[in-house]
Amino acid sequence: DAGVTQSPTHLIKTRGQQVTLRCSPKSGHDTVSWYQQALGQGPQFIFQYYEEEERQRGNFPDRFSGHQFPNYSSELNVNALLLGDSALYLCASSSDSLAKNIQYFGAGTRLSVL
Amino acid sequence: AQTVTQSQPEMSVQEAETVTLSCTYDTSESDYYLFWYKQPPSRQMILVIRQEAYKQQNATENRFSVNFQKAAKSFSLKISDSQLGDAAMYFCAYRNFMEYGNKLVFGAGTILRVKS
């Protein structure tokens, strides 16, 4: 049983560019959350998708957008990249129908903005 | 808004010894969940232990146990018989019980070093 998978592993972009990160949830999970983890800090919640809709959103600008597909996989898009967007982006999946509703994390995508 | 504070940026422990990591949180809710996650150098966040706020009994998972003090809003993690594989960044996290969605609020983390 594959866990949460994210691609790519590493990414280098320049300021002003756009980037798309991808996430496949753990089998049986229908909810995907995205977090940004700056170096040496704890993850910060970006948004969560359920039934192809954005269900919750953290304090991130509209440059951060996402999508969830019918197979529950998800994308995170960031437009007009800034140097401060350099971080590890973590995807987590869970299932509302499971009693414990625990979030399982992928290994992340390391984004460097030059 | 809820906040989670981990006041120990870094801790060290000798192999086979016991170490306690501290966490405090702030919330006006009465029902919530608390978690400890471990993030090794491989970057993948792994759930260590989970506590429901309505349960008075402290959660335990093998060598890992918590001291949950609801009135003090404190949630510490005790690691017994520390092993080299326990070396990692540890994050304390909070989640509302009744909120639509299950977003996690994380602390800044504590680096745990295990000495042989």
Angle, vertex CA B108, rays to CA A105 and CA B111, nearest 5: 85
Can you give the pLDDT at residue A3?
Answer: 92
pLDDT in tens, A13-46: 999 999 999 999 999 899 999 999 999 999 999 9
Q: Which three-class secondary structure state does DSSP give residue B101?
A: coil
Alpha-carbon distance A15 to nearest alpha carbon in chain B (angstroms): 25
Whether the CB of B111 is below 8 Å from some CB of chain A: the reply is no
Q: What angle do CA B48, B52, B56 make, to 5 degrees?
A: 110
**Other Cβ atoms within 10 Å of A86 Cβ, number:** 17
Amino acid at A78: V
Q: Please report, rounded to a whole number, the percentage of residues in chain B having pLDDT higher than 70.
A: 98
- The helices-and-strands tally (H runs, E runs) of chain A is 0, 11
What integer is the mean pLDDT of A35-64?
95
Contact between B87 and B113 under an 8 Å Cβ cutoff? The reply is: yes
Measure in Å the smallest separation between the Cα of A113 and chain B Cα atoms.
19
Residues of B in contact with A97 (CB under 8 A): none
Model pLDDT, residue A95: 86
